[in-house]
Amino acid sequence: MGESHPSRRQYKEEKGKQPKVKGKFRSLAIRTMLVFFICAALITGGFAYTAFAYVKEAPKLNPEQLNSPLSSTIYDMNNKKIMDVAGEEYRKKASLDQVPKSVQNAFVSVEDVRFWEHHGIDFKRIAGAALANIKEGFGVEGGSTITQQLVKRSFLSSEKTLKRKVQEAYLALKLEKEYTKEEILEMYLNKVYFGEGAYGVATAADVYFGKSVKDLNISEAALLAGLPQRPSGYNPYEHPKLAEDRRNLVLSLMKEHEFITEKEKKEAQSIPVKDMLKKQKKKNTYNSFTDRVIEELKEKGIKEDQLYTEGLKIYTTFDPKAQKITDKVLKTDDYIAYPDDQFRAGVVLLDTKTGEVRAIGGSRESNTEVQRGFNYATQMKRQPGSTAKPIMAYGPVIENLKWSTYEQIKDEEIELNGKVFKNWDNQFHGNVSMRTALQWSYNIPAIKAMQEAGAEEAKEFAGKLGIHLDEVFPSYAIGGFEYGVSPLELAGAYSAFGNEGVFNEPHTVRKIVYMDGKEKNLQPKSVQAMSDYTAYMITDMLKTVVTEGTGDMANIPGLPLAGKTGTNELPDDIYGYGVTDAWFAGYTTQYTAAVWTGYDKIGQDSFVRMEDSHNAKLIFKHIMSEVSEGIETPDFTMPSSVEKVTIGNRMELFIKGTVPERKPVIINKPPAKKNEVESKPEVTEEEEVVDEDTEEEEEEEEEVEEQEKKEEDENSKEQEKKPEQNVEKEEPDNSKTKNPEEENPNHENTQPPKGNKDQDGGNNGHSDGDKGEKDKENPGNKDTPPKGEEGATGSDPNKGKPSGQSPPPNREDENKK
């Protein structure tokens, strides 16, 4: 094994014995090198004035900054400090004499093999890096010494600019003049970032191996020495193979530079990295919101080690009050009695106008078990069920075909690509308006609407709302996505409906400020994703969903609110009355929220029972009502591009210029044959008899029209009394439309005959033919209108929630329908 460098004591003794002329010579050498470097920079770049200005602007060598890691600080929406990215427990220090020579040699081998020889700058290494940069572009390879790295981590940003490199070199030479090599190495080893929130080699030894730094072996030393280049990329917990390859490279360099023998190298390389690590440390250092902040910064090009070493000021969109409310609703039983500890939920609350995320409920657990654990609000992706209908069906068809909210669609059984689609109630309702179809979450009208708009148009519409799909199938109209969406994505999409069609990508970070005062704005640009009439007409229909449809349990009296429910049916091998996922997404002019509830894995004993499927609505209701308290929330403003038309006793919306000359009349036609899909709506206008020959004929025409109007009114009354005639029932008075499911209060699905799903709403996407196509893999969704229900089991009446829960519908009663 090659000779090790002298110890700190030996170095100082030797230094004391040296003639003073050597000290003068060293000082002169450093000054000469500094002058040489500056001159080289001037000659090479031709920027004499600029280079001297860079040196003049260089920060001072502050001892406190040299000896302390510069963790970034996170601030809330009011610019008040929330927390440092890493706590004090991640900042252990070790003196150099506590660090084994093998550990020191490992770092020198991989980071700066001539560390003990140069005076802060390694010109040989710079020459090699310069050659690489000439060939592949500036900044592709660095020639920084350990001294330069210490300077950069203490005083400068990581930007690859000429200014930073000039200042880095100048300060490195200055640092070598004021501190010994041992002092520089000690400061470096205590400052460098190793991933997992660990600053310094002493902290890293504890985090990864559960031992003191003085007890590290050669293999462990090499693993740690390989981490600073890419702390997240070489993280041994997440990328053990890459970490092992990196460790082996360090060991090879140690052998090459004669710090270890061939035998020591092979022995150290033979140990699997997985066997070296201790169990990942459990810490409740982050909450769901700061988790997302860090992930978002990484997505925007800010490396993880920058967050821990560059002292960034991170200004976020975080609302402490909203987060406190969200945590309390999810993590306590003060609002909702959750069925069990395995019941999961994810919530995102954001500003409707800006897309700024105010709160994130990423877990129901009071204490996150693993540092930066799984976030159900941002990382979880599930099929969105019927919450997709405004995005995939009704939004695109209004935008592209200018349908009115009264557009008539025939609700009937259809078969597409061998797949039979049905509704959640296993019934068909004949001609229904688009508003009514959305109000009661019927599937067939949504599928037909998307077909009319066009699959590509639906895909494009969703993409403008931040939901990017590779391809679109009929089942996508009702939420049967192949990969699903997260609550964060769904909240972003819904906020555009409440913001006059303007989409703002959901974001948690407003800007970052570097140590030198430079700011970087990270707020995304606004995009006009749809016409204002589309946004308003969808919103108006979703208000009906909340006030008198499937979402009425989420309604908040006195608060103008729009929203949509969404559920997914159980797979064929699970028997019971329930769903796999339950969603609710809604918004006011101030806030938008999306809520998902469900289980990690679906099984016979782990699915959302119907009495718990309403928890998503209740979570939304409690969070939205409390964050809106004391804040003025105006109603949605109808744009000039929309016109109101009274039809029956309901106000319907038309795009300006599309209102028919006469009110539409529903015409009953014989039921279509099974699997027959009608592409045209069952709506016509009264034909006008045009004959201008005589005044007598005109008077006769008026009499005929008056008679037809009387007959129409009589027919409408008959249709209200006879819903089985496939005619959409409009409200006869100011009371709410009766929920179709109210008539089925006592059904419980028990082991059905093989091949028969026999579950409420379960056949809406069931296929009797061959399986295999994409849309067959996505069974669709079902929604369960809660009209007449008093709330989910366990609700607290003192919190303003309805109490009680209606039992499942009775199959016998349903069959009588």
Sign of CA dihedral 183, 186, 190, 192: positive
| Contact between 610 and 577 (Cβ < 8 Å) | yes
Distance CA 77, CA 90 (A): 27
Question: What SS3 string covers 163-212?
Answer: HHHHHHHHHHHHHHHHCCHHHHHHHHHHHCECCCCCEHHHHHHHHHHCCC
Q: Quick one: the chain helix, strand, coil %, rounded to 5?
A: 40, 15, 45
In angstroms, what CA-CA distances link 348 with 62, 126, 389, 610, 812?
42, 49, 20, 23, 41
Per-position DSSP letters for 642-669, written without gaps between them: EEEEEETTEEEEEETT---SS--EE---
Q: Which of 109, 111, 407, 475 is catalytic?
A: 111
Query: What element of type H or E holds 304?
Result: helix 304-309
Contact 614/792 with Cβ under 8 angstroms?
yes
> Of these residues, 72, 144, 219, 386, which one is catalytic?
386
Closest-CA residue to 109 (of 245, 255, 213, 239): 255
Exposure letters 787-813 (e unless 16+ CB within 10 A, then b): bebebbebbeeeeebbeebbebbebee
Determine if residue 577 is left, alpha or beta; phi over 0 gives left, psi from -120 to 50 gives alpha, anything else beta.
beta
What does DSSP say about strands 608-609 and 591-598: parallel, antiparallel, or unpaired? unpaired
Angle at the Cα of 330 from the Cα atoms of 626 and 288, rounded to 5 degrees: 100
Phi then psi dihedrals of residue 697, to 5 deg: -65, -35
Q: In whole angstroms, what is the distance from residue 488 CA to residue 583 CA?
A: 12
- 756 exposure class (CB count in 10 Å sphere: 0-12, 13-18, 19+): exposed
| DSSP H or E segment with residue 710 | helix 695-721
Beta bridge partners of 545: none
For the stretch 661-698, what's the b/e string if a residue is b when 16 or more beta carbons lie within 10 angstroms of its beta carbon?
A: eebbebeeeeebeeeebeeebbbeebeeeeeeeeeeee
Phi, psi at 31, each rounded to 5°:
-65, -40
Dump the DSSP string for 29-88.
HHHHHHHHHHHHHHHHH--HHHHHHHHHHPPP--HHHHHS----EEE-TTS-EEEESS-G
- Contact yes or no for 566/382 (Cβ under 8 A): no
Residue 95 is among the residues annotated as catalytic for this protein? no
**Backbone Cα Rg of the chain:** 34
* 812 flagged as catalytic: no
Among residues 441, 446, 496, 439, the alpha carbon closest in space to that of 467 is found at: 496
Q: Are 273 and 244 in contact (CB under 8 A)?
A: yes
CB atoms within 10 A of CB 139: 12
Question: What are the residue numbers of the active site?
Answer: 111, 386
